[in-house]
Amino acid sequence: MGEPVLKLEHVFFHYGRRLVLDDINLTVTPGDFLGIVGPNGSGKSTLLKIVLGLLQPTAGSVSLFGQSRKNFRQWSRIGYVAQNSTAFNYGFPATVREVVMSGLTASLGLLRFAGARERRRVAEVLEQTGVADLQDRLIGELSGGQQQRVFIARALVSRPELLILDEPTVGVDVEAQERFYELLETLRSEAGMTLMMVSHDIGVVTEQVDNVACLNKKMFFHGSPADFLSQDTLTRVYGPAARILHHAH
């Protein structure tokens, strides 16, 4: 199976005095597609920020690719598409190609110019994510679904082994969502990528992922979508409205 891509052991997190994550244990193995679900304010984004090194846990340990997060420096192995990344201002002065190229900054260093190899890689990813024909357009002039693909391209350009997506399908129509999940499937089958995705859409998520982690301050469930749906987890975490949530899509 190989060493875990991610391992959280007894992780706690507080914002000030407010406990937001309570004794979280989670192991993600290579090639897994993990869906992270939970009600609003349940700590999903906080968990991702801890994994990405943007927040320090109050207690507990986090390891990435077998290394303690404290010593981990290989951030280009992790791609991240943030929540609301499709809310770019109209007129923002960067083209699609420039936005995707900026995903190489970590590996290039700020002061090095992109060479032929980097430009080739950007062209490859633009093609793979279906936005090559948009590359000279300004990012702020694209639709939500188009911007989403650009931000995925940006996250992919450094060839990450783990791709983390926070609410990637918000504001994206059904057809674009289907293309998005097809792209994820290709990344998994061709590049063996590990995926972690936060989503509110329980119906869709449980159809797409291998495993579900259901969070509400504590980790309420971690296992297969079938077990998640067949157990009482939904009702325990979301209350009686869970049924509606599940059948809403």
Ligand X SMILES: Nc1ncnc2c1ncn2[C@@H]1O[C@H](COP(=O)(O)OP(=O)(O)OP(=O)(O)O)[C@@H](O)[C@H]1O
Q: Which residues bind ligand X (CB under 6 A)?
A: 15, 20, 38, 40-46
Nearer to ligand X, 11 or 157 (CB): 11
Nearer to ligand X, 45 or 147 (CB): 45
**At its nearest, how many Å lie between ligand X and the CB of residue 241?**
15
**At its nearest, how many Å lie between ligand X and the CB of residue 59?**
17
Cα(146)–Cα(176) distance, rounded to whole angstroms?
A: 9
Nearer to ligand X, 46 or 86 (CB): 46
**At its nearest, how many Å lie between ligand X and the CB of residue 14?**
9
Phi and psi dihedrals of 72, rounded to 5?
-75, 130
Cβ-contact 96, 119 below 8 angstroms: no
**At its nearest, how many Å lie between ligand X and the CB of residue 44?**
4
What residue type is assigned to position 170 of the chain?
V
Strand ranges (E), 84-229: 162-166, 194-198, 211-216, 218-223
Nearer to ligand X, 18 or 247 (CB): 18
Nearer to ligand X, 20 or 187 (CB): 20
Long-range contacts of range 241-246, CB-CB < 8 Å, 24 or more positions apart? 245/202, 245/203, 246/202, 246/203
Quickly tell me which residue has 């999940």 as its tokens: 181
**At its nearest, how many Å lie between ligand X and the CB of residue 212?**
15
Cα(21)–Cα(15) distance, rounded to whole angstroms?
A: 10
